[in-house]
């Protein structure tokens, strides 16, 4: 069971909070801008002469990837603070994720055949996945397929570790609520199959992963916000988890605002969709009167 919970944590860490096939989020068009300088895309939030630099997180990147991190290092060294949502370490009781019915019978013949293919790819027996609720099985399958995609990614870039090495203090904002996660797995009926069907979709995981990593490293925001990899239908189907992630947006906006109101600066790490959607982090701050700058307005030397 321990391995299953680790896989879930990895999946949630890489997922976006919105659905591709459901109600796709409305983005603030004026904020969806590609970077004009080398490296990943940055936005900024200002009050007077104080500024919080916001780095949009869009894809997992290998730790040894060659990307232009000069702006990150310069801004972290200047502010000495990194605002981020801390990773979840939630563990689940077996009954939380245990199968509530024989959901395999609800799949079409083609879907059952696809699940058998997936089990072969992951080295599991098909019956293993039926031990869990289908939405949990979907999250697990997605994580395992990513982990087994070749070439393997190996160790991932961890910007919080890099920031600490540069002398920054980590400032947590929000976090994935354990009760919301547990409640989300109680989803029943056809909605609980959404995650499973999404996870089983045929795709070249390694090629897609590389494409998205490269897009993030060159600041290609529009590429990262388009296509089936941009939005995650699992969370759309699990209302409690989606609400928890929306609360994180408010926590991030509040923490950024409080930092500026104290007369401090910082670097903040925020996922691209929560950052740029209507009602998201930047939209909330803009409506409060803070000045927002986009990647097209960023200066090479700040």
Mean pLDDT computed over every residue of the chain: 85
pTM (predicted TM-score): 0.85
Q: Is the pLDDT of residue 207 over 50?
A: yes
Per DSSP, 157 falls in state P
Q: Which two tokens stand for residue 259?
A: 């930092």
For the chain, the C-alpha Rg in angstroms (whole number) is 20
pLDDT band at 228 (very low <50, low <70, confident <90, very high): low
**122-165 pLDDT tens trace:** 999 999 999 999 988 998 898 888 788 777 777 889 999 999 99
Which residues, 6+ apart, have CB-to-CB distance to 111 below 8 Å?
197, 200
Whether 302 is in a domain gets the answer no
Whether 164 is in a domain gets the answer yes
Whether 10 is in a domain gets the answer yes
Q: Is the pLDDT of residue 47 over 70?
A: yes
Compute the distance between CA of residue 294 and CA of residue 17 in angstroms, rounded to an integer: 22
Across the range 201-213, mean pLDDT stands at 85
Beta bridge partners of 47: 50
Q: Based on the structure, what is the number of domains in the chain?
A: 1
Beta bridge partners of 98: 132
Among residues 12, 88, 17, the alpha carbon closest in space to that of 247 is found at 17
Tokens 């490269």 sit at which residue? Answer: 214
Whether 248 is in a domain gets the answer yes
pLDDT of residue 16: 45
In our burial notation (b when 16+ CB lie closer than 10 A, e otherwise), range 162-196 reads bbeebebeebebbbbbeebbbbbbebeeeebbbbb
Q: Is the pLDDT of residue 50 over 50?
A: yes
Which residues, 6+ apart, have CB-to-CB distance to 55 below 8 Å?
40, 41, 42, 72, 159, 267, 268, 269, 270
Whether 48 is in a domain gets the answer yes
Sheet with 81-84: strands ordered across: 169-172, 81-84, 266-271, 50-57, 42-47, 291-293
Contact of 57 with 270, CB cutoff 8 Å: yes
Whether 136 is in a domain gets the answer yes
Q: What angle do CA 140, 146, 152 make, to 5 degrees?
A: 140
Across the range 86-111, mean pLDDT stands at 84
Domain that holds residue 165: 2-297
Q: Is the pLDDT of residue 9 over 60?
A: no
Compute the distance between CA of residue 216 and CA of residue 221 in angstroms, rounded to an integer: 7
Question: What are the DSSP calls for 240-288, one per residue?
Answer: HHHHHHHHHHHHHHHHHHHHHHTT--EEEEEEHHHHHBTTSHHHHHHHT
pLDDT: which is higher, 23 or 136: 136
pLDDT of residue 14: 37
């Amino acid at each position: 069971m321990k391995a299953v919970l680790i896989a879930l944590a990895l999946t949630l860490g890489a997922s976006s909070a919105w659905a591709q096939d459901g109600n796709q989020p409305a983005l603030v068009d004026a904020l969806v801008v590609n970077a004009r300088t080398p490296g990943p895309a940055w936005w900024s939030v200002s009050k007077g002469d104080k500024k919080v630099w916001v780095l949009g997180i869009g894809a997992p990147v290998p730790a040894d990837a060659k990307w232009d991190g000069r702006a990150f290092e310069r801004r972290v060294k200047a502010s000495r603070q990194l605002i981020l949502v801390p990773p979840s370490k939630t563990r689940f009781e077996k009954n939380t994720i245990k199968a509530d019915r024989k959901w395999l019978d609800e799949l079409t013949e083609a879907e059952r055949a696809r699940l058998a293919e997936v089990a072969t790819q992951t080295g599991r027996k098909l019956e293993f996945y039926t031990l869990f609720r289908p939405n949990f099985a979907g999250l697990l399958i997605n994580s395992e397929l990513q982990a087994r995609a070749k070439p393997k990614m190996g160790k991932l870039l961890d910007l919080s570790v890099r920031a600490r090495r540069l002398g920054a203090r980590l400032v947590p904002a929000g976090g994935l609520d354990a009760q919301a996660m547990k409640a989300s797995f109680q989803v029943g009926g056809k909605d609980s199959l959404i995650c499973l069907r999404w996870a089983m979709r045929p795709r070249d995981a390694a090629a897609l992963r590389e494409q998205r990593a490269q897009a993030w490293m060159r600041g290609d925001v529009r590429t990262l916000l388009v296509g089936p990899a941009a939005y995650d239908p699992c969370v759309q189907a699990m209302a409690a988890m989606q609400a928890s992630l929306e609360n994180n947006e408010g926590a991030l906006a509040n923490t950024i605002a409080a930092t500026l109101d104290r007369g401090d600066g910082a670097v903040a790490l925020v996922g691209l969709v929560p950052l740029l959607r209507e009602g998201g982090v930047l939209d909330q701050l803009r409506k409060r009167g803070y000045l927002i700058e986009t990647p097209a307005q960023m200066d090479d030397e700040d």
